[in-house]
Amino acid sequence: MDPRRSERVSETLREELEELICWELSDPRIECAGVAEVLISPDGRSARARLILPGGAESQKETLSALDRAKGFIRLELAQRVDMFRLPDIRFEAAIEADLGSRIPHLLKRMRRGRPRPEDTPAKS
């Protein structure tokens, strides 16, 4: 697959997956802060969706198992939204370690506000 096409398809799938998983799925087991990236194989038949999942290791494992069960529904919705001849088979994985998962909401809030950490601010001379 052409690298530019692969990048366009990856970004389109990332946007649609983020909207679908984070906002439209009503499964209470799914906690999603966003889709970090979608990596497509060179032949375009498979893709890995790396998700930003809040919570600990157990919560992340539960979210990933719920997404695996909903994979058929997600694939059907993606096929209706994205005009592609062959939609890749999507596997879900966590983009961030479980240790950082509990800090994600705090880090995202800080990032949205644009506030640096106190030690990152330049010292006055």
pLDDT confidence bin for 34, thresholds 50/70/90 = confident
- Predicted pLDDT of residue 51: 92
Tens-digit pLDDT profile for residues 43-82: 989 999 999 888 788 888 999 999 999 999 999 999 999 9
Q: What is the DSSP string of the chain?
A: --HHHHHHHHHHHHHHHHHIIIII---TT---SEEEEEEE-TTSSEEEEEEE--S-HHHHHHHHHHHHHTHHHHHHHHHHHS--SSPPEEEEEESS-HHHHTTHHHHHHHHHHTPPPGGGSPPP-
Residue 118 has pLDDT above 80, yes or no: no
Q: Which amino acid does the sequence have at 90? A: I
Q: Going from the N-terminus, what domains does the chain have, and what CATH number goes with each?
A: 3-111 (3.30.300.20)
